[in-house]
A and B are shown apart, each in its own frame.
Chain A
Amino acid sequence: MSKLRLTLSLATASLWYRRRVLAMVCLTLTLSVTLLLGIQYLRTEVRQSFTSTISGTDLIVGARSGQLNLLLYTVFHIGNATNNIRWSSFKHIEDDPRVNWAVPISLGDSYQGYRVVGTNGRFLERFQHGNDQPLKLAQGQWFSQLFDITLGAEVARQLQHQLGDQIVLSHGGGRTSFSNHADLPFRVSGILQATGTPIDQAVYISLEAMEAMHVGWESGVAIPGRTLSASSAEARSFTPDAITAILLGLKNPIMTFQLQRELSQFPGEPLSAILPGVALSELWRMMGQFEQVLLGISVFVVATSLIGLIAVLLTIQSQRHREVAILRAVGTPPSLIAGLYSLECVLLALASCSFSLFIGAALIASLSPWLLTHYGIHIGLRALNPDEWLLLSMVPVVAFAVSLAPAWHHWRKSRTLSFGNNNPN
C-alpha cells in the first residue's frame, strides 16, 4: 500500500517537474480527444435529430413513387411529387375505420424560395417531431381566415417578418419566380417555434386558400379578369380537387403494414404508402456512410497525438537518466521505475479525458442555441451513452499500452545503470 502511495507521489512530483513539456502534450491530447468525443457525440445527436424529423405519423400516402422520393418531398421539402392525389381518394382513406386522423398536404407554390404547404388545422394538432413533440406557436395563431399564413421559425427569422405582415406568394417553386399571386396577399397570423426540422423552412396556408389563389391560373399564368379578388374569394367556398400527400395516424399502429399494402393496391388511382420511420432509416443508411469516415479520421488524430506522447517521453528519457539513477540508488526496484512511466502516461491521458469532457460540455452548452437559430440543428447537452464512455475509456487504456515501450526500455536500462555521465541511449 505504501509502495503504491510512494509510486503515486513520485509520479506526480516527476510530472510536475516536467510540467511545461507535458502541458503541451496534454493539450494536444486533450484537443484530439475532444475532437474524437465531439464527433461521436454529434454523430449520435445528428442521427437522432434526423430520424426524429417526423414522428407519430404511421403512414405517408402519395402518388405512386419510391419511398425515398415520397419522404423527401413531403417531409424534407426536397424534390417534387410525381403526381397528385384526388380529393375523393383522400376522403375515402380518411373514412377508413382504421384511420384515426388524416392530414392533407398540398405543395407546389413558394415564398422567397421557401415551400408553401397547403394543409388544415389538423396539421398543427397532429404533426409531431422528436420524441413525439407537437408543434407550438411562438407568436400569434395558426391560420384561421382564408388569407392567413403561418410561418416556420426560420422563414420568419430570415425574412424578419412580424405578425400582421402582408405576404405575396409566388406561383411555382424557386426563389426568383416572376409570376406572383400579387392580387391575393396573405397576412401573417402566426409564427411557429423552432423545431430544428424542415418544418422551420416552410410557410403554411389553408387548402382553401391554395385553391382560391389558383382560380384563373389554369393555363399556368394569371388571366386578367378570371382571377378572384380577396373579397369575392372569401365569399366562396373551395374544395380542392387534388392534394399532394396525406399524413395518416392509425387507431392501432399494428395495422400499419396491412393498410400500406391495401393502399398500394388502391383501386381508384396508383398510390404509394410509406412508413416514415422505415424510410428515414433507409435514407440514413445511405447518408450515414460519411459519418463513419469522420469518426475514422478522428481516431487517427487521437492515435497521432498518442504517438506524439511516446515521442516526447522517449526524448525526455535522457533527461531523466539521473532521476532514475537516484531512485535506483535509494533502492527503488526496476519494476517500480517502469511502473512510473506507465502511470505517468495514464495520468496524462486521464487528465486529457477529463479536460476534454469539460471543454466538450462547455462548447455544446454555449453553441447549441446558436446552432438551432442559425442552422436549425438541435443539439442538446446530455449524459454520455455507453458507446461514448467506451470510446473515452479506450484513451487511457491505449495510453497505457503505448507507455509499455518506454517503460520496458527503462526497466531494462535501470537494471544496468551507473552514475556516469554516459548517455543510456
Chain B
Amino acid sequence: MKLKHSLTLTGALTFALYGGPTVAQQNLQAHQHGMAELQVAVSGEQIDVLLRSPAYNLVGFEHPPRSAEQHQTVKSAVDWLKHTALVDTPQQQCSPEQSDVLTSWNDPHADHHDQSHDHDHSGHSDIEITQRLHCPGLSDTNKLQTTLFQRFPGLEQLNAQWVSPKGQNGTRLTPGKHRFQLGR
C-alpha cells in the first residue's frame, strides 16, 4: 500500500507538504517552462511551502550540470532556495526552519526510499523545494509576497494555492503581481 508507506515516511519527517518523493514518480507532472506551482499551507505562525518548477526556470538548463559554471549556477540557486523564505510577510518576518531542495538529476533523498528506483530521463527535469517557515507576527497581516521573480527572471508565472484558517484560495502570480492575500 503506497499510501500507508508514505504515511509513515511523513510521520518521520513531520513535513506537512512533503508527502514522499514526488519528483519523477509514476504519474508524470505537467512541465511547462516559465510556469511553476506554489503551495502554501498556513497554520498559526507556521507556513509550509512547496515550490515545484521546471529546472529551466531556476537555473536555465534541464540536464545535470556539466561544466564548472553550471555547477556554480546550481549551487548558488540551491543555496538561495534553502536559505530564503519563498513566501514572506511584507515586513519580512519569516525565516526557514527547515528546507529541502530536490532535483530530478540529483535526488538528495535517494537514501530515504527505493535506492534502485530508476529516474525517467525524458529530457525534462524539475526542482522541488519544501520549506517550513516560522513567521512571528503572521497573525497581524494576511498578506504574503514572494521574491522568487526577482531572483529567477526565467520564472514568468506562479500558480499559487493556499490553505489557511481563513479558507482556501488560489491565484496566478506574475512579476508584476507578487503579493497575495490570505483568505477566501
Residues of A near any B CB (own CB < 8 A): 51-52, 55, 58, 92, 96-97, 252-259, 261-262, 264-267, 275-278, 281-282, 285
When distances are taken between beta carbons in the complex, the residues of chain B under 8 Å from A258 are: 10, 16-19
Closest 6 CB pairs of A and B: A277-B168, A278-B170, A258-B19, A254-B43, A254-B41, A267-B2
B39 at the interface (CB under 8 A from A): yes
CA distance A278 to B25 in the complex (A): 24
B170 touches A253 (CB 8 A): no
B184 at the interface (CB under 8 A from A): yes
Summarize A's interface: helix, strand, loop or mixed: helix
Nearest A residue to B39, CB-CB = A257
When distances are taken between beta carbons in the complex, the residues of chain B under 8 Å from A261 are: 19, 22
Nearest B residue to A276, CB-CB = B168
- Asked, given contacts A254-B48, A258-B19, A264-B27, whether A278 binds B169 with beta carbons under 8 Å apart, the answer is yes
- Can you show 25 pairs from A to B with CB atoms below 8 A apart? A51-B184, A55-B184, A58-B168, A96-B3, A97-B7, A254-B16, A254-B41, A254-B46, A257-B39, A257-B41, A257-B161, A257-B163, A258-B17, A258-B18, A261-B19, A261-B22, A262-B20, A266-B2, A267-B2, A267-B3, A275-B161, A275-B170, A277-B163, A277-B169, A278-B170
Apart from the given pairs A261-B22, A265-B26, A277-B167, 14 other A-B contacts in the complex at a CB distance below 8 Å: A52-B184, A55-B184, A58-B163, A92-B3, A96-B3, A253-B41, A254-B16, A254-B42, A254-B48, A258-B16, A261-B19, A266-B2, A275-B170, A277-B163
Nearest A residue to B1, CB-CB = A267
Residues of B near any A CB (own CB < 8 A): 1-3, 6-7, 10, 16-20, 22, 25-27, 39, 41-43, 46, 48, 50, 161, 163-165, 167-172, 184
A254 touches B18 (CB 8 A): no
Nearest B residue to A279, CB-CB = B170
When distances are taken between beta carbons in the complex, the residues of chain B under 8 Å from A51 are: 184
CA distance A96 to B6 in the complex (A): 12
A277 touches B2 (CB 8 A): no
CA distance A137 to B6 in the complex (A): 41
B167 touches A281 (CB 8 A): no
B68 to nearest A CB, angstroms?
36
CA distance A253 to B2 in the complex (A): 22
When distances are taken between beta carbons in the complex, the residues of chain A under 8 Å from B171 are: 281
Nearest A residue to B165, CB-CB = A253
B50 touches A257 (CB 8 A): yes
B10 touches A254 (CB 8 A): no
When distances are taken between beta carbons in the complex, the residues of chain B under 8 Å from A278 are: 161, 168-170
CA distance A262 to B161 in the complex (A): 17
* Residue from A55, A252, A259, A277 in contact with B43 in the complex, judged by beta carbons closer than 8 Å: A252
A401 to nearest B CB, angstroms?
29
When distances are taken between beta carbons in the complex, the residues of chain B under 8 Å from A58 are: 163, 168
A346 to nearest B CB, angstroms?
34
When distances are taken between beta carbons in the complex, the residues of chain B under 8 Å from A266 are: 2-3
CA distance A285 to B170 in the complex (A): 10
Most buried by B among A257, A264, A275, A281: A257
CA distance A276 to B170 in the complex (A): 10
B22 to nearest A CB, angstroms?
6
A262 touches B19 (CB 8 A): yes
When distances are taken between beta carbons in the complex, the residues of chain A under 8 Å from B164 are: 253
When distances are taken between beta carbons in the complex, the residues of chain A under 8 Å from B161 are: 257, 275, 278
A225 to nearest B CB, angstroms?
42
When distances are taken between beta carbons in the complex, the residues of chain B under 8 Å from A262 are: 3, 6, 19-20
B122 to nearest A CB, angstroms?
18
CA distance A265 to B20 in the complex (A): 11
- Asked, given contacts A97-B7, A262-B6, whether A255 binds B168 with beta carbons under 8 Å apart, the answer is no
When distances are taken between beta carbons in the complex, the residues of chain B under 8 Å from A96 are: 3, 7
